Amino acid sequence: MNYHVLTLFPEMIMQALGTSIIGRALEKESISLEAIDIREYTTNKHKKVDDTPYGGGAGMVMQAQPIYDAYQDLERKIGFRPRVIYLTPQGKVFHQGMAQEFAKEQDLVFLCGHYEGIDERVLEEIVTDYVSIGDYVLTGGELPAMVLIDAISRLVPGVLKNEESAQFESFHDNLLEYPQYSRPEEWMGKKVPSVLLSGHHANIEAWRREKSLQRTYERRPDLLESAALSEKDKKFLDNLRNNTCK
Ligand code: ADE
């Protein structure tokens, strides 16, 4: 997976993603990352990349020319028309399914806006996906781009140490993850559930499934509508519902 981030703050991207698991993946070359400074493409002699909005109003608008030229240079380099994700609160709200879909691409381009937005004409020309990370407004698209890069990268083969671990966790089957425990067996008077110490794999699996179902029911019941549930799961949830209604 090759990421290309079009931004006015390239150092913000490179610094934040250079550490931890993503940093290690970059070193191992499971993924690659370049931050392209939009300002380097401006034809304005003062290096200006924004101007006031036509029709009036507050703030500044990022101009089309430097963004388009930066994109064209990139497209030429990649050799095909890549998916271009524009981070905006007006986009589709990001979820795990979208991360899985984006993880299939060979190259992904992220366009980060600032100020009051970007000239609509260049968006029409290059953007393929409008993506939001939630219903709140941030000062720019860099943090959302990094959120997407993090979520997508951990699905790219070779990025996580144990490739299996991306599959059995929160949002697998649209269920939340079961609770986890480690040493010691007792902490502050709280004991680790005995089934986890039993060594009985089938019982442990069954317990974990029930905890996942219970947790999702309590914390994110909206997820259950699209969860993959067996008849046994459904019975367990019916029981939970009956007990909580009493
Ligand atoms: N840019 C500003 N706010 C944003 C948000 N919530 N999601 C994506 N991009 C943004």
Average pLDDT value for residue range 61-85: 98
Task: Pick from 112, 137, 143 the residue to mutate for probing ligand 1's pocket: most ligand atoms within 8 Å of its CB.
Answer: 137
Round to whole Å and give the CA distance between 108 and 8.
18
The Å distance, Cα 38 to ligand 1 centre, comes to 19
Q: Which residues line ligand 1 (CB under 6 A)?
A: 87-89, 132-134, 136-138, 141, 144
Task: Please give the pLDDT value at position 193.
Answer: 98
The Å distance, Cα 242 to ligand 1 centre, comes to 40
Task: Please give the pLDDT value at position 244.
Answer: 82
Count of C-beta atoms within a 10 Å radius of residue 17? 22
Helix (H) / strand (E) containing 62: strand 61-62
Residue nearest to atom 6 of ligand 1 (CA): 89
Residue pLDDT, tens place only, 138-197: 999 999 999 999 999 999 999 999 754 766 566 768 899 999 999 999 999 999 999 999
Residue nearest to atom 2 of ligand 1 (CA): 138
pTM above 0.85, yes or no: yes
The Å distance, Cα 137 to ligand 1 centre, comes to 6
Residue pLDDT, tens place only, 211-238: 999 999 999 999 999 999 999 999 999 9
Task: Please give the pLDDT value at position 168.
Answer: 52
Task: Pick from 85, 93, 95, 132 the residue to mutate for probing ligand 1's pocket: most ligand atoms within 8 Å of its CB.
Answer: 132
Q: Is the pLDDT of residue 245 over 80?
A: no
Average pLDDT value for residue range 44-71: 98
Mean pLDDT, rounded, of the chain: 95
Task: Please give the pLDDT value at position 169.
Answer: 64
CA dihedral 191, 192, 195, 201 (to 10 degrees): -160
The Å distance, Cα 139 to ligand 1 centre, comes to 8
Q: Are 4 and 136 in contact (CB under 8 A)?
A: no
Residue nearest to atom 10 of ligand 1 (CA): 88
Residue nearest to atom 5 of ligand 1 (CA): 89
Residue pLDDT, tens place only, 119-152: 999 999 999 999 999 999 999 999 999 999 999 9
Q: Are 87 and 145 in contact (CB under 8 A)?
A: yes
Task: Please give the pLDDT value at position 167.
Answer: 61
Q: Is the pLDDT of residue 246 over 70?
A: no
